[in-house]
Each structure stands twice: as C-alpha cells, then as structure tokens.
C-alpha cells in the first residue's frame, strides 16, 4: 500500500512559499510605483509591470521549495523516510514541483513576449484623441513580431530537441530515424520552454554585460567633481 505525502510535509514546503508570494507582490507593487512618474502613470502598465516582476521573483522563490521537499524525503543517514519509501509517492511530489516550474516558465514566456510588448505599445499609442479601440489595434499590430518570435522559438524547441538517434547498425531506415527526431510523443513542453528560457537568459546576460561595460566607460570619462572649487 502506498504511503501518502504527510500534510505536515506539504504545509512546511508550500505555506512559506505562499507567504513569500504575498511579500513578493507587495515588494513588486512598491518598487514599480516608486520608479514610475505620477504624472505619466497609467495603471494598466503598472499592473502589467507588477505582474511580470512578481512572476520572475516567484520563479526564483520556487527553487528553495524544490530543494526543501527533496531533502526532506531523507533522514540524516541518507535513507528515505517512511512516507517516502514508496516510489509513487516520490514521483507524485516531484511531479507537483515540476508542474510548478512549467507554470512559472510559461508565465514568464507570456509576460516577456505578449504582455509587456503589448502594454508598452499600448502606452505609446496614448494620445488625446485616441480611443481604447485604436490604441488596442495599434499595440496589437506592433506586438505581432513578438508573438511570431515566441511561436518560432517554441516550435523549434518542440521539434529540434536532443534525442538519442537509433543505432546505425540496426535495420531502421533513414526515414524512420528522421521521423524519430521529430517525435512529438516526447516531452515537447519541457523542450520548448527550455529553449525559450535559454534564449531569455542569454539575452539577459548580454544586456547586463553591455550595460555594465557602458556604465564603467561613462564613469571613467566623466570629469572629476570640483566641489566648491570653481573649474574653468
């Protein structure tokens, strides 16, 4: 008989995560409101920024929960606890955490390629005589490129993934080997999101490097502060 996951284990792992979610929402709201101009503030853009920032921070907060739940399965001597002896129980716990990762990665993809570009162009379409319909259509027109980019990345990740090719010495034909590479019965969701997250991480790293280098160059060429001395 399979042993279910004790409620105390789930509570110890997920209740702190829920508390962290509330703190993240509060922090994101305060942070975005602090750095936005009151005169030019538009609540639709503010809410989108708060949601996107919260999703990114929640994804980071999910890692400690994953580590805690996995480590909590074992005792100090390295053996599994009574409730974790059954393989189905461990698989169920790991699957719940994996679904959490998929959900957060999917939300990040949605915010980066759909929500934020659309709200940016929607904000830029703001004019005195512009209606919500014209702003919506204009923002949607400019956001199509990001939608297409997201679709292409997800499609490439779903089709062109790493997979063991059939042995060259067996009787498998070349067509069957090629069809095996594009087998959609594999975990295409994980492959698609992995590619998207890799591209996002690479772009983020490049932006950080370029921003840091440009700031260092600006600091090096900036004239010294004269203080109270009059500089001619």
Q: Is residue 173 part of a domain?
A: yes
The phi and psi torsions of 188 (rounded to 5 degrees) equal -75, -25
Lowest-confidence region among 82-91, 99-108, 142-151 = 82-91
Model-level pTM? Answer: 0.72
> Crossing angle of helices 132-159/116-124, nearest 10°?
150
For residue 107, the model assigns a pLDDT of: 92
Q: Is residue 2 part of a domain?
A: no
For residue 212, the model assigns a pLDDT of: 83
Lowest-confidence region among 31-40, 45-54, 132-141, 153-162 = 153-162
**Of all residues in the chain, what percent carry a pLDDT higher than 90?**
14
CA–chain centroid gap for 97, Å, is 15
Give the best-scoring range by mean pLDDT among 16-20, 53-57, 68-72, 140-144. Answer: 53-57
In sequence order, the 6+-apart residues with CB closer than 8 A to the CB of 28 are 49, 50, 53, 54, 57
Q: Is residue 231 part of a domain?
A: no
Band of pLDDT at residue 24, cut at 50, 70 and 90: very high
How many domains, the chain?
Answer: 1
For residue 178, the model assigns a pLDDT of: 56
Chain mean pLDDT for the chain: 78
Taking only the tens place, the pLDDT of each residue in 148-176 is 988 888 888 777 755 555 455 555 566 66
For residue 18, the model assigns a pLDDT of: 87
- pLDDT(205) > 90: no
For residue 167, the model assigns a pLDDT of: 53
- What is the dihedral angle through the alpha carbons of 137, 142, 144, 149, rounded to the nearest 10 degrees? -160
For residue 1, the model assigns a pLDDT of: 38
For residue 208, the model assigns a pLDDT of: 83
SS3 80: strand
CA distances from 134 to 43, 94, 146 (A): 18, 47, 20
Q: Helix H segments across the chain?
A: 7-34, 43-71, 87-110, 116-124, 132-159, 174-181, 188-221
Q: Is residue 229 part of a domain?
A: no
Greatest C-alpha distance within the chain: 87
Domain span including residue 208 = 7-221
Q: How far apart, in whole angstroms, are the C-alpha atoms of residue 66 and residue 59? A: 11
For residue 232, the model assigns a pLDDT of: 46
């Amino acid at each position: 008989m399979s042993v279910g996951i004790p409620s105390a284990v789930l509570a110890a792992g997920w209740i702190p995560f829920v508390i962290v979610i509330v703190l993240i929402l509060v922090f994101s709201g305060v942070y975005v409101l602090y750095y936005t101009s009151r005169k030019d503030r538009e609540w639709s853009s503010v809410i989108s920024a708060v949601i996107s920032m919260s999703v990114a921070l929640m994804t980071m907060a999910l890692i400690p929960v994953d580590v805690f739940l996995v480590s909590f399965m074992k005792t100090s001597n390295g053996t599994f606890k009574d409730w974790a002896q059954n393989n189905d129980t461990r698989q169920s716990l790991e699957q719940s955490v994996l679904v959490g990762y998929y959900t957060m990665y999917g939300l990040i993809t949605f915010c980066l390629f759909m929500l934020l570009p659309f709200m940016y162009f929607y904000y830029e379409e703001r004019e005195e005589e512009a209606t919500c319909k014209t702003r919506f259509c204009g923002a949607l027109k400019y956001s199509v490129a990001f939608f297409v980019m997201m679709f292409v990345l997800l499609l490439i990740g779903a089709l062109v993934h790493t997979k063991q090719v059939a042995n060259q010495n067996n009787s498998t034909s070349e067509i069957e080997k090629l069809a095996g590479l594009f087998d959609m019965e594999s975990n295409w969701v994980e492959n698609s999101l992995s590619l998207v997250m890799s591209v996002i991480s690479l772009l983020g790293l490049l932006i950080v490097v370029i921003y840091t280098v440009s700031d260092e160059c600006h600091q090096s060429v900036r004239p010294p502060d004269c203080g109270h001395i009059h500089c001619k």
